[in-house]
Amino acid sequence: MKRLAGLRPVPADWYYRGVLTARSGAAGHLQLRYLGTAGFVLSDARRTVVLDPYLSRPGAMRSLAARLIPDTALIRRVIPHADEVLIGHAHHDHILDAPDLCLQTGARLIGSRSTMMVGHAAGLPDRQLRETAGNEDIACGDWSVHGLPSRHGRLMGRIPFPGDITAPPPWPPRMRHLRHGLVLNWIVRTGGLTVAHIDSADFINEQLDGHRCDVLCLCAIGRKARPHYVRDAVQRLRPRWVVPCHWDTMLTPLHAEPDQIPGVDLPGFMEEIRQAGAEPLLTPMLGDLYFPCQY
Ligand SMILES: [Zn+2]
């Protein structure tokens, strides 16, 4: 059935199998865990910052026809601790699980005004909400984060669920209640390495100018949605490593083998990353990368 629909898993040998550093949770290593879609957990001995967590992944029918209900137990099990949760944009596949994660961990939710409306809707108290329009450094313990105003990619010529969320939406929401709002690309400075996160299929070149990163988490859909997507991002931000994200259909359960989004062409995406001068690190769902870093 999946084959008929053009859905295919990722062959195991496409994943990065090298070792970036000795596996260790000690200070001096930054751990990056991939959560599927555009989700990541970044952590060292001092801080845990989560980006765009979306673990609940209701299937296609439930996503389209019903309210989207965060899987509280799954979120607790997979991400037991967080200090900050950053949102790139407020579509359901980037924000649905964020308020629940913040309620469970006490983490702050950081993002656009639309993101704040979602936090209010889910019952997060004001002390856990930090709105930003981007272009400012926000201290997170010894780390700091910085949003860069961006824009949402077009899918087949149009932007899905466009616009802002101007009042707290129904909660749990339906897909259509979650408009993207201001899109933010994140620069996360950990004191050692700097990680950049581009969670949609477009961005604004001028906003990236003047910023650098060591690791870039980059949406794989963008390559076919925008001219020079990979080249423009890599040449501006100068990462040593690029971790592809948003390449899975997000319709399989978190612990099942994910399917590629038809047409994404991961090998082509990774080859463009190499041609632009960076090393692609394709990471399995819930896979970990450990980066060496000095404080
Ligand atoms: Zn989106």
Is the four-CA dihedral 187, 190, 191, 197 of positive or negative sign? Answer: negative
Among the listed residues 209, 223, 196, 252, the one whose alpha carbon sits nearest the alpha carbon of residue 57? 252
The SS3 call for residue 1 is coil
Ligand 1 centre from 186 Cα, in Å? 15
Nearby residues for ligand 1 (ion, Cβ within 5 Å):
91
Q: How far apart are alpha carbons 73 and 60 in whole angstroms?
A: 21
| pTM for the full predicted model | 0.95
- Residue-range domains of the chain with CATH: 30-155+162-278 (3.60.15.10)
Ligand 1 centre from 280 Cα, in Å? 23
Give the bridge partners for 260, in sequence order. Answer: 248
Ligand 1 centre from 36 Cα, in Å? 14
Ligand 1 centre from 194 Cα, in Å? 24
Ligand 1 centre from 98 Cα, in Å? 15
Ligand 1 centre from 206 Cα, in Å? 21
Place of tokens 């824009």: 151
Ligand 1 centre from 130 Cα, in Å? 21
Amino acid at 98: A
Ligand 1 centre from 162 Cα, in Å? 9
* Residues in the chain where the model's pLDDT stays below 70: 1-5, 21-27, 294-295
pLDDT computed for residue 79 by the predictor: 98
Give 71-114 as a 3 state SS string: CHHHHHHHCCCCCEEECCCCCHHHHCCHHHHHHHHCCEEEECHH
pLDDT computed for residue 63 by the predictor: 83
The SS3 call for residue 165 is coil
pLDDT computed for residue 28 by the predictor: 75
Ligand 1 centre from 159 Cα, in Å? 8
pLDDT computed for residue 285 by the predictor: 96
- Give the list of residues 6+ apart from residue 192 with CB closer than 8 angstroms, or none: 28, 30, 44, 293, 294, 295
Ligand 1 centre from 241 Cα, in Å? 24
In this structure, the strands spanning 29-36 and 288-292 are: antiparallel
